[in-house]
Amino acid sequence: MHATLQKAVTRMLAPLVRVLLRHGISHAEFTSWAKQTYVEEANTHFGIDGKKPTVSRLAIVTGINRKEVKRILELPADASPAIAKHNRAIRVVTGWMQDDEFNDSNGNPLPLSYGDAESGFNKLVKRYGGDVPARAVLDELSRVGTVQQTQSTIELAAKGYVPHESEEAMLDLFATSARDLLTTLDHNVSKEGQPRLQMSVAYDDVGAEAVDAFRKLSSKKALSLLRELDGELSQHDRTKNPNAGGTGRYRTGLGVYLIEEVVEDDQPNDQ
């Protein structure tokens, strides 16, 4: 089992290590981050009978000495303000794409005016951005390249919140998406509770022309599906609809991603 787990984790880490190497992060620095995560996760999920684990138990579970465990526990908590900021931006962009009031007759997002609190972009932000000022949302969407501004209008430049112009924002989304997927996989591997949706389709002997065609088709189909699901799920979001009701507080949704990589094959297909 240990060897199987090692192989699985090594494969999973490969794209993460590529990101780290690309940003000049050394093995030693990554090890320090991993050590901190070990302590935080053990402290959150590996108590006994619902009680927080002691420093000694954390040291035993993680294999990290007590002094280092104590130091890590005393580090300031990360409030992750960027996540909340990006979530608000995502809600605004999704509303822009989904709400008929901000779409043309073909369902395409309309260019919006800016300035009047009761119309255009300001009204969109008021409806979907909570209490965040329209100017702050506009600055964020402009910073990451999601919108384009003219003298009189603001136009959506991407089919969703895709921050091409901001490496920081892309890394935030990288972390959120990777964490979401791995959390679902961990849940299914642990076999605790009802299995969560985990599906994919992929073939490993596809030509470049078909890859390009599939990329376009999957983008179109996925966008249609996500817009439909957003229309349904947004009705139950109590931030948007205070009368939605329900007990507890959960984060739920569905992520879609494209699988595409070059297969190294020593045997040419045209033999």
Counting residues of the chain whose pLDDT is more than 90, the rounded percentage is 54
The pLDDT value recorded for residue 271 is 45
b/e map of 144-154 (b: 16 or more CB within 10 Å)? Answer: bebbeeeeeeb
Q: Is the Cβ–Cβ distance between 127 and 121 less than 8 Å?
A: no
Please count the residues of the chain. Answer: 271
Q: Is the Cβ–Cβ distance between 53 and 43 less than 8 Å?
A: yes
Give every CB contact of residue 135 below 8 A, 6+ residues apart in sequence. Answer: none
Domain borders along the chain are 2-77, 80-196, 199-271
The pLDDT value recorded for residue 230 is 85
pLDDT above 90 (res 182) = yes
Q: Is the Cβ–Cβ distance between 165 and 145 less than 8 Å?
A: yes
The pLDDT value recorded for residue 110 is 94
Residue with more model confidence, 162 or 203: 203
- CA–CA distances in Å: residue 124 to residues 1, 146, 244: 52, 15, 20
State pLDDT tens for residues 117-140: 889 999 999 888 877 889 989 988
User: Hey, which of 15-19, 47-51, 151-155 has the most confident mean pLDDT?
Assistant: 15-19
Instruction: Measure the CA–CA gap between 3 and 69, rounded to whole angstroms.
Output: 27
The pLDDT value recorded for residue 78 is 64
Tokens of residue 67, six digits:
């002094």
Q: Is the Cβ–Cβ distance between 254 and 197 less than 8 Å?
A: yes
Q: What is the DSSP string of 61-104?
A: HH---HHHHHHHHTSPP---HHHHHHHHHHHHHHHHHH-GGGB-
The pLDDT value recorded for residue 176 is 87
The pLDDT value recorded for residue 55 is 95
State pLDDT tens for residues 51-63: 899 999 999 999 9
Instruction: Measure the CA–CA gap between 181 and 15, rounded to whole angstroms.
Output: 14
The pLDDT value recorded for residue 144 is 78
State pLDDT tens for residues 64-92: 999 999 999 998 876 555 555 666 788 89
Instruction: Measure the CA–CA gap between 58 and 55, rounded to whole angstroms.
Output: 5
